[in-house]
A = this chain, B = another copy of it.
Amino acid sequence: VSIGFNLDPRLTSDTLPVSDLPISIVRLMNDARFPWVVLVPRRSGASEILDLSSEDRHQLFNEIVQVSSAVKMICTPKKLNVATIGNIVPQLHVHVVARNEGDAAWPRPVWGVGTAEPYTQADADAFVTSLKRALAAESSR
């Protein structure tokens, strides 16, 4: 818990909780069409990577790599898409999306494509459990 930091309401409603890394809240986009993880650094008011201190920025980069490795390990995607966009939700957040040929947006990016298909509770629980395990494996390497 970081005093004074509140997750953006849109991010809160679009995602499910996964875990906390040293700087980021890790959330799963509640959209079963794509394995899609979001990192949100707990830094109030940050909208760009440039808004972070150099130290925070490097920590965020390390966590992006850690999450990317975990998602790759779980999903073995054809391609990872990693991005910070934030045109609609200004709170700094980073997307890590596992992409495969034939997925609902391929080869286009996922943002703004179609409508999210929420996970079943069982599928969400299974993915979150896998992700936590993979993140723990990555952080212990």
Contacts and interface: CB of A to CB of B under 8 A. Distances in A.
> In terms of DSSP, what is the predominant structure of the interface of chain A?
mixed
A85 interface: yes
Contacts of A139: none
Interface string A35-62: 0000000000001111000000110010
A86 B80 CA distance: 8
Interface stretch (A2-10, A65-73, A123-131): A65-73
A81 B49 CA distance: 10
Contact of A83 (B57, B78, B81): B81
Given A82-B84, A87-B108, A109-B111, 8 more contacts: A48-B72, A50-B69, A79-B86, A83-B83, A87-B99, A87-B106, A88-B107, A108-B112
